[in-house]
Amino acid sequence: MKTDSNPNHRKPCSIFVAFTLAMLLGSCASYGPYHANTAAEPTKSVRGPADGRYKMAFIEFGDQGSPLDNSQRKAALEVIHEAKRPLLFVYIHGWQNNATSGDVCRFEHFLDLVSSFPEFTGRKINVIGVYIAWRGKDLTFPGLNLLTFWSRKSTGAGIAAANSCLASIEELAVAAHDPGKDYHHTVLLGHSFGALVLGNTISHSILGANGEGGRSSSAWDMAVAFNSADSSITTRQLMSEFDYLYRYDPQKRAYVSRGSLGEETAAVSENRPALVFLQSENDSATGQFFPIGQEVISSTNLHFHWQKVPVPGHPGEKVSENEFYTHTPGNNKYLVNYHVVPLGETGAPPGLRATENRAFEANIKQNHPDFSFYTSEHNDGHERTFCRNGEYSPGAVYPPTGKELWRRWKFEYTGNARIPCWVVRVPKDIIWGHGGLWSDNSVAMFGALFRMEFPLGPGGIMAVPKPRTAPKSPDLQQLNLDKHAAN
């Protein structure tokens, strides 16, 4: 065989390979931690404005779910322990984000917004945010980072299955609910693969049995997952567990125990779902690309046989579990049980003082017994200006957009299992695409959800929520009667 001995003929290939390797190596994101505490700065992982109206802490995890700096969790706990009236938000970010990305600014802006309203802070409430960070972005080179969807999904699932993340979230929530606190609320938030981590984490704890034949109450009060990038297998299982334990009572407007002994203490008010999935209707990442990728993975693993599993809320109906493997919760027709429906354009309610995202103020100033709420902006991304080059300025004043569009919407039950787990389809006017969770209209909608979960009492004051305790296993005879009635 004749070979080409001229080395110059091989240079283009060698240069290309060397360039490609250098590009890949040079575009790998750092493992962190980005906010490590040191002897000189023992609380570097905690920050906030000088007036202390809110504090934000970081807890960073590695690809295997191990904490990168245990002192970060300790520092976050110290902030919670020192607070007499903690309002705690624990946020787990998603794909293409980490502990220094723009998501940090957007979460901090949310904390800043919440802390500026007396409806939250009127009782000298301590607004605290904990940013749970992981390597949602492991390649930084433009274009190449789009190829990491499945590797980051696998990493997110691994973190959710590990012990440390669950332990951290539980410990933070338990600290906020210390009996010595005058007031407390704990809200868990997750986006994309962060919603995957959130959904899997709380599914392992929400229905845990205790030693008395009952079930433990969760330490957190509210959980919201935005555009979850997880398969809906675990969500179906969670919803099936709820459907096994609860039935909806329209007279009480509550989810009540299927047990025959009438466990009134275990009844869950209709406005207090344990977990809410919010799914944008035009999210192509989870609606289009996710099913394709899952089918490819399934074929690669030679997984062609699927068992049939029960559909929550549809007694006797079974479908292939592949339907849940290839679709995220908010894109699964068997699980979606709520839609946000339009009620039309309207005017701004009187008495608002905010200049930015006035619908958020309107939604938190009043209760929502009919599950309706306001939005006030065009969903055009204008709010991105508050985050520049990864830096956030607490207290910065953002002028009105000058083109408000006031509309009313409603969370409406539309079918499938009616249980304390909402899987909600949301119009693009509120959440645009996969990353639109921090838009003004999305935040305004969250404000309404928060007020539905924690309604205002006499004098416009939020009361400490009652513990949410799952009922005991249902009586077999009553369970069969309920199923027969449903048929």
The string of pLDDT tens digits covering residues 293-312 is: 888 877 777 677 899 999 99
pTM here?
0.89
Least confidently predicted of 55-64, 223-232, 341-350, 387-396:
387-396
The string of pLDDT tens digits covering residues 248-259 is: 999 999 999 887
Cis bond leading into 458, ω under 30°? no
- HSE-up of 481 (CA within 13 Å, CB side)? 8
Percentage of the chain lying above the pLDDT 70 cut: 82
Whether residue 2 has pLDDT greater than 90: no
Of 182, 204, 203, 166, residue with least CA distance to 90: 166
Amino acid at 90: V
pLDDT at 331: 98
The residue ranges of DSSP E strands in 192-269, in sequence order, are 222-226, 246-249, 254-257, 268-269
pLDDT at 157: 78
pLDDT at 35: 93
Whether residue 100 has pLDDT greater than 80: yes
| Greater model confidence, 468 or 289 | 289
pLDDT at 214: 57
Residue 15 tokens read as: 């240069």
pLDDT at 166: 85
Whether residue 27 has pLDDT greater than 60: no
Q: How far is CA 63 from CA 133, 190, 229, in A?
A: 11, 17, 17
Cα–Cα dist 318/324, whole Å: 12
Indicate the average pLDDT of the chain. 85
Cα–Cα dist 195/207, whole Å: 18
Residue 46 tokens read as: 């905690």
Cα–Cα dist 216/128, whole Å: 25
Kind of pairing between the strands at 254-257 and 268-269: antiparallel
The string of pLDDT tens digits covering residues 151-177 is: 777 777 788 778 888 889 989 999 999
The string of pLDDT tens digits covering residues 190-201 is: 999 888 888 877
Cα–Cα dist 7/419, whole Å: 70
The string of pLDDT tens digits covering residues 61-96 is: 998 889 999 999 999 999 999 999 999 999 999 888
Q: How far is CA 411 from CA 156, 225, 403, 405, 448, in A?
A: 29, 16, 25, 19, 10
Percentage of the chain lying above the pLDDT 90 cut: 54
Of 217, 195, 163, 223, residue with least CA distance to 422: 223
pLDDT at 10: 46
Whether residue 379 has pLDDT greater than 70: yes
pLDDT at 441: 98
Whether residue 235 has pLDDT greater than 50: yes
The string of pLDDT tens digits covering residues 407-433 is: 999 999 999 999 999 999 999 999 999
Q: Is the torsion defined by CA of 52, 437, 131, 30 positive or negative?
A: negative
Residues composing the chain: 487
**How far out from the chain centre does Cα 276 lie?**
8
Whether residue 228 has pLDDT greater than 80: yes
| Main-chain dihedrals φ then ψ at residue 97, nearest 5 degrees | -135, 160
